[in-house]
Amino acid sequence: MLTYKKRRRQFFVAWKPMAKFFAVIVAIGLAADLKANADSKSTEPGGAASPFDFVDLPSSPAREGYVTLSWEPYEAASRYEVVDGGGKVIHSGVFPQAFISGLSDGEYRYRVRAVNASGEILVQSASTATIEVSHWPAIYVWPLLGVGFFVVAAVVFVIVAGERWASTEEMSR
């Protein structure tokens, strides 16, 4: 019969080649990601950095009436501005992300631009972020609201009943 140490050693000896195989696969995947990332941040002819753009756009349609827009940071920017389809600045901030809320049903288009300290536009996003907002239909909302009400009422009932039970139990002692 094999002892615990011998079984453990046999297990690791058997898995050692497999671990090397997975390490090589992971290293190849990381190298490919780094190369793709370096290729995407290459410069355009003339030495100018390629324009920044939105990343991780929210799924369509947005059901809750808010979205978070993120974009590639631009090194020379002191702030960013998110502009709607009509040219109105709806967000201005120093981080490469904007949270936009209070959206009613419809389609919205946004661009982001990097601005320097003197207010000059350095670069604008290459593409437009198109966001479709379509709130949940009432047929889903009202039943869920009813279930939520029932859960809150049940919790309140349990708290009140537990308090009464504890006080009557205390009085009987």
pLDDT in tens, 90-130: 999 999 999 999 999 999 999 999 999 998 999 998 888 99
Buried b (16+ CB within 10 A) or exposed e, 120-151: eebbebeeebebebeeeeeeeeeeeeeeeeee
* pLDDT 10s digits, 63-79: 888 999 999 888 889 99
- pTM for the whole structure: 0.55
Task: Please say whether the beta carbons of 82 and 98 come within 8 A.
Answer: yes
Q: Is 64 left (phi over 0), alpha (psi -120 to 50) or beta?
A: alpha
Task: Please say whether the beta carbons of 79 and 115 come within 8 A.
Answer: yes
| Residue 43: both structure tokens together | 């410069």
Residue of 29 and 59 predicted with greater confidence = 59
| Residue 54: both structure tokens together | 């939105």
Contacts of 131 (CB under 8 A, 6+ apart): 57, 58, 60, 62, 67, 103, 107, 108, 109, 110
Task: Please say whether the beta carbons of 99 and 66 come within 8 A.
Answer: yes
Q: What is the CA radius of gyration of the chain?
A: 29
User: Per mean pLDDT, which of 16-30, 42-56, 118-132 is the most reliable?
Assistant: 118-132
* Per-residue pLDDT, 28: 63
pLDDT category of residue 27 using cuts at 50, 70 and 90: low
